[in-house]
Amino acid sequence: MSDQKRQVLVIDSGVGGLTVAKEIMALIPNASIAYFADHGYFPYGDKDEAWLVNRLVDLLRKGITRFNPDVLVIACNTASTTVLPHLRQRFSRPIVGVVPAIKPASQHSQKKQIGLLATTGTVSRSYTDRLIADFASDCQVIAVGSQELVHMAESKIQGQAVDHEKLREICRDFLNDHGEPRVDVVVLGCTHFPVLRIDFEQAVSDEIRWIDSGEAIAQRVKSLMPNELAAASGSHIFLTSDDRYLSSGLTSYLRNMGFSDMGLG
């Protein structure tokens, strides 16, 4: 397995950050990506701040030593809303985090009633409260925290079916008593959740706009990249801290995305 340079190092607790990696690949096709899924400690949503800081500092150090990336991406909303300032104090390389797309949601909403769907950790963070106060003070924000959706997204990528009845139950607060949308925009505030976008549309409502920050993150990464990238900079590599997650369903999904190397990291 190659340890050659990768321009972008992406880290998440699982495969949710692949939704961000996919946007980066589309926008910067000649950039090579090293993706690390920390399945051994999945999910991050229930971890405390001190643990997350120590874990991510360790992973970034190892990733920098191994791949010498130009840009580091923390592709996890829970971690980003908690540890980014700590990481930026310790590392000189640019670090891009993922935060809920509250600002664009408030701009797109006609009803001025928006939903936030995230992990319980992200929903409860003071950082998220500040985002809402700063960018959606004119909106009613209905926040729903769910760890179960993270597991459902992981299972879908592994090739398993999504329980639409359970999905609708989790999102019931976005609907009124007649099953009609109370909100016109829902922020997918976890990188795992865009995996379920079509399921949200089918099970909850296709009248709701389900948005995430993946494209904006890719734009930010591009702005931080060297102006000229090597034409043959290397293929994409996927690593996990628990190779029991490397099922045939996941490896097939990764190959379709363009990952040629996969294994335990």
Q: Enumerate the known binding-site residues for substrate.
A: 12-13, 44-45, 77-78, 191-192
Binding residues: 12-13, 44-45, 77-78, 191-192
Question: Which string of DSSP letters, residue by residue, matches 63-115?
Answer: HHHHH--SEEEE--HHHHHHHHHHHHHH--S-EEE----HHHHHHH-SSSEEE
Residue 139 falls in the annotated catalytic set: no
Residue 76 falls in the annotated catalytic set: yes
Catalytic residue among 190, 195, 211, 254: 190
Cα 83 from Cα 72, distance rounded (Å): 13
Catalytic residue among 9, 11, 56, 76: 76
Whole-angstrom CA distances from 242 to 75, 113, 236 are: 18, 40, 19
Contact status, residue 70 vs residue 7, Cβ threshold 8 Å:
yes
Cα 248 from Cα 241, distance rounded (Å): 17
Cα 62 from Cα 265, distance rounded (Å): 10
- Whole-number CA gyration radius for the chain: 18
Helix (H) or strand (E) holding 33: strand 33-37
Ramachandran category for residue 32: left, alpha or beta (phi over 0 → left; psi -120 to 50 → alpha): beta
Beta bridge mates, 61: none
* Contacts (Cβ under 8 Å, ≥6 apart) of 204: 167, 168, 171, 174, 175
Judged on CB neighbours under 10 Å (0-12, 13-18, 19+), 217 is: buried
Q: Which residues are tagged catalytic?
A: 76, 190
